[in-house]
Amino acid sequence: MPKFKYYIVYGNGKGWENYEAFNEAFKKFGEVLKKYNMELVLYGSPFGTQEGLVYVMKGSIEDYTSIFGNQDYEDANPIESGQRTNMVLKP
């Protein structure tokens, strides 16, 4: 049975002062995700979307849903508004 494995998340970023601050925010976010057995696979800027930021997480659907409502996740999430997620199945 196929299971969700990857989560492609789009949204509008928080607005960082420079590239180093941008990377540091994602480093911190990746560390928070590890606490919930999730992995930050990649991040960057999407092409052809309204949103200015995209990242991909990897993990089980149970671990993915466990992150919501946790203050450390909310604080570290680089997306400030307009978040939407595409879930990808892996056979």
Q: Report if pTM > 0.75.
A: yes
Tens digits of residue pLDDT in 70-90: 999 999 999 999 999 999 997
Domains by residue range for the chain, with CATH: 3-90 (3.30.70.100)
Burial class of residue 29 (count of CB atoms within 10 Å of its CB; 0-12, 13-18, 19+): buried
User: Strand, helix or coil at 47?
Assistant: coil
pLDDT-derived band at 64 (thresholds 50, 70, 90) equals very high
